[in-house]
Amino acid sequence: MDYHCGLPPRHDPHCNCGAPSAKPISALPGKTVLFERDLRSASTRKRNLTTRHAHVSTIEPFEVAVSDETIEAIKERVAAFPWHEMPEDGGWGYGTNLDYMKAFCDYWVAEFDWRKQEDWINQLSHFKTPIEGIDVHFIHEKGSGPNPKPLIVSHGWPGTIVEFLDFIDPLAHPENHGGVVEDAFDVIAPSLPGFGFSGPPPRPYGPRKMAAIFNRLMTEVLGYERYIAQGGDWGGAISSWLGYEHTPACAAIHINILTMRDKDEPQGPAEIAWAEQFEKDQLVQDGYRTQQATKPQTLSYAMMDSPVGVAAWILEKMHGWSDLVGDDIESVYTKDQLLTNIMVYIVTRTFNTASWIYYGRREEGGRILSPEGKRVEVPTACALFPEELLGWPPRSYAERIYNVTQWTEMPRGGHFAAMEAPDLLIEDIRKFARSLDCP
């Protein structure tokens, strides 16, 4: 099969990756069913990918292994937290709900099993490689069939690769999830520099600089000639810069957020109304963003010594940016999902360096894609989830920034689409990838 934009088949004679078996396990009512992977299949894939990477001396296999002492120290800090007052009419209106936070921490100390989550993370194939002096961590899941399309998926803040743990297998092995092998992807999911299992940059990097690093990962380290980039939150900005500055290697992008801005003001009644509403919506969201973009170091002194503080800071965003039933954060996420994402920041001590990206973007020039009015010319798919934190503009505005070839208005979901509505996001990515194939 030929590929529009030159997306190449990646048949590797050294790779005999077996497709993983998967079976549904129980999920809470109304939640997306998770998949329990066969550990023997996962182990086989890891060995095969390690063999595949053996000729690249800078790639090293990686496994998450947090010490018992670290886990116990975190639990002790959580148990000893000095709870304080909250206004009587509290709820979530003043920030993270105090009653919920106490119950959450009780579960954290008494019931949360990090080792189980660690095993869940390690079922995928993890690697590290140095790029521009940074140890970049990435998951590399080789897709089924002879011609899986290369796809790099990038997370944002306050997310981590935990967002993708139930998202990667259906993309790489669709035939095990009711799909067809022709839709398979080679999935690469890096931890952003300074986030989680990746090393920190020497100073704040914004999404433009991170895009350059990820392009090197895909082309120089992994050897892909063409690839598709996908992302939400900062991953959407990174994907935008990949499509803008790193063609023809980046052949197309799929985004579920619009963070970039046109150099010109909104035009026409619909665009003007969107811009005015956007400013109103962001009034109560700008606090964390301004702090992390101007004085991230000051915030870090409080957070680096307080697991509860990190959890509260992140939970507020997971609650406020998601498509919940009523006010219930656990109508979308389980405590284990929330805690695993939070723990990645804590056990790696990266809350501080992860916040630097906001400062980095400010130094890179902010949201404007091109002062000259140029746009991303590679094919671009836009997936609009109704409870997205950054409300989408009319398509006319987006088309001044991107070459929009697919525009999907979703029936549900919010900012963390890969966790909230993985079925919708996966199918939209597959549909987009199919459209890139020549007839």
Q: What distances in angstroms separate CA 413 from CA 37, 165, 205, 422, one per listed residue?
A: 25, 18, 29, 9
| Count of all residues that appear for the chain in the document | 439
For 325-335, letters b (16+ CB in 10 Å) and e give eeeebbebbee
- The two three-digit tokens of residue 146, written as one number: 């002879």
Beta strands at 60-62 and 35-37: parallel, antiparallel or unpaired: unpaired
Q: How far apart are CA 230 and CA 406, in angstroms?
A: 13
List helix spans (H) across 264-421: 268-282, 286-294, 296-303, 307-320, 335-347, 351-364, 395-398, 417-420
Q: How far apart are CA 300 and CA 272, in angstroms?
A: 37
Q: How far apart are CA 422 and CA 168, in angstroms?
A: 10
- The two three-digit tokens of residue 18, written as one number: 């077996």
* Residue 358 annotated as catalytic: yes
Which of 126, 140, 246, 415 is catalytic? The answer is: 415
* Residue 4 annotated as catalytic: no
Which of 244, 358, 359, 402 is catalytic? The answer is: 358
- Is residue 151 within 8 Å of 306, Cβ to Cβ? no
Phi, psi for 416 (deg, rounded to 5): -100, 65
Which of 166, 183, 233, 428 is catalytic? The answer is: 233
* Residue 415 annotated as catalytic: yes
> What positions carry a catalytic annotation?
233, 358, 415
